[in-house]
């Protein structure tokens, strides 16, 4: 499992943007407050990132593919070609890259389906705090923010709103380091959303397990091993 902390994105620009949906919208914590191109289905984001960073998460995008290029002093260090339609379609991406010690840039070329203006909601780049993958038995459910009220005649008033993913999981890791590293991340973010790759070693589709969400209730820990502790928490996808 990887958590982005601290975040080290300094700024982000786009080679195409709508006046109503600027690239600066990518820097907040609201996935629905998006950046959108000026109408093209292909556009490139350019992020300036402080040193000691190695993780990229992009949330709420309609892109079907992406090319991520890491540059240091204008020289390409790595390039990643990402398919967001196979084996499942995703609205998010996660990429680990080789840690860069100095200020660097990350270019993200996004391609949406033909005829669609490409967009994205949140961009998070920073250092990856690595802890153990969750134990088997991760629970995934939906949290529905719709309003449902029963009327006098037995019918229902329904105002449909967002339905998001919610995961309940636990993991066991070294108490002296990883338990307290995880604690530091949770203390920093509190109920604010955090970018987490929940399982990096389960399968070859990391985007399946990427989530930008709130840990609304404090996690709980159990020190039931000599040098290891178990941690349980629930994370609710941000909207």
Q: DSSP string spanning 145-175?
A: --EEEE-TTS-EEEE---EEEEEEEEEEEEI
- Cα–Cα distance for residue pair 179/163, rounded to 1 Å: 31
- Contact assessment for residue 68 and residue 80, using Cβ atoms and an 8 Å cutoff: yes
d(CA 7, CA 47): 13
Per-residue pLDDT of the chain (239 residues; tens, 9 = 90+): 999 999 999 999 999 999 999 999 999 999 999 999 999 999 999 999 999 999 999 999 999 999 999 999 999 999 999 999 988 899 999 999 999 999 999 999 999 999 999 999 999 999 999 999 999 999 999 999 999 999 999 999 999 999 999 999 999 999 999 999 999 999 999 999 999 999 887 666 789 899 999 999 889 999 989 999 999 999 999 99
CA–chain centroid gap for 222, Å, is 27
Taking the C-alpha atoms of residue 105 and residue 82, their distance in angstroms, rounded to an integer, is 18
- The pTM for the full model equals 0.93
In which order are the strands placed within the sheet that holds 63-72? 9-14, 42-49, 104-112, 63-72, 75-83
Quote the CA–CA distance of 118 and 17 in Å, as a whole number: 9
Q: Which of 53, 45, 131 is nearest to 98 (CA)?
A: 53
> Is residue 4 within 8 Å of residue 125, measured between CB atoms?
yes
The C-alpha R_g of the chain, in whole angstroms, comes to 19
Q: What is the pLDDT of residue 62?
A: 98
Alpha helices by DSSP H, listed for 68-210, are 180-189
> In the chain, count of helices (H) and strands (E)?
1, 19
Taking alpha carbons only, the member of 83, 16, 74 closest to residue 44 is 16
Instruction: Measure the N-to-C terminal CA separation of the chain; round to a whole number of Å.
Output: 22
Domain 8-125 CATH assignment equals 1.10.1040.10: no
d(CA 82, CA 77): 17
- pLDDT value at position 38? 97
**Helical H segments across the chain, by residue range:** 180-189
| pLDDT computed for residue 203 by the predictor | 66
pLDDT number for residue 204: 66
pLDDT of residue 4: 98
* pLDDT given at position 24: 98
> Which pLDDT value is given to residue 195?
98
Q: Where do the domains of the chain lie?
A: 8-125, 139-237
């Amino acid at each position: 499992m990887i958590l982005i902390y601290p975040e080290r994105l300094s700024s982000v620009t786009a080679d195409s943007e709508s006046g109503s949906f600027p690239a600066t919208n990518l820097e907040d914590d609201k996935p629905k407050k998006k950046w959108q191109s000026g109408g093209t289905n292909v556009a490139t984001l350019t992020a300036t990132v402080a040193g000691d960073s190695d993780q990229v998460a992009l949330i709420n995008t309609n892109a079907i593919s992406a090319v991520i290029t890491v540059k240091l002093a204008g020289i390409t260090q790595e390039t990643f070609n990402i398919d967001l339609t196979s084996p499942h379609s995703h609205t998010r991406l996660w990429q680990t890259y080789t840690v860069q010690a100095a200020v660097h840039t990350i270019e993200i070329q996004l391609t949406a389906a033909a005829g669609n203006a490409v967009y994205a909601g949140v961009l998070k780049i920073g250092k990856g705090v690595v802890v153990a993958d969750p134990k088997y038995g991760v629970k995934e459910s939906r949290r529905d923010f719709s309003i449902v009220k029963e009327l006098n005649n037995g019918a229902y008033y329904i105002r449909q709103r967002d339905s998001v993913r919610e995961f309940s999981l636990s993991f066991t890791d070294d108490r002296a380091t990883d338990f307290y590293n995880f604690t530091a991340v949770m203390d920093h973010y509190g109920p604010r959303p955090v970018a987490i790759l929940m399982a990096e070693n389960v399968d070859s589709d990391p985007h399946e397990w990427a989530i930008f969400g709130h840990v609304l209730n404090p996690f709980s820990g159990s020190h039931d091993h000599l040098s290891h502790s178990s941690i349980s928490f629930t994370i609710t996808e941000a909207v």
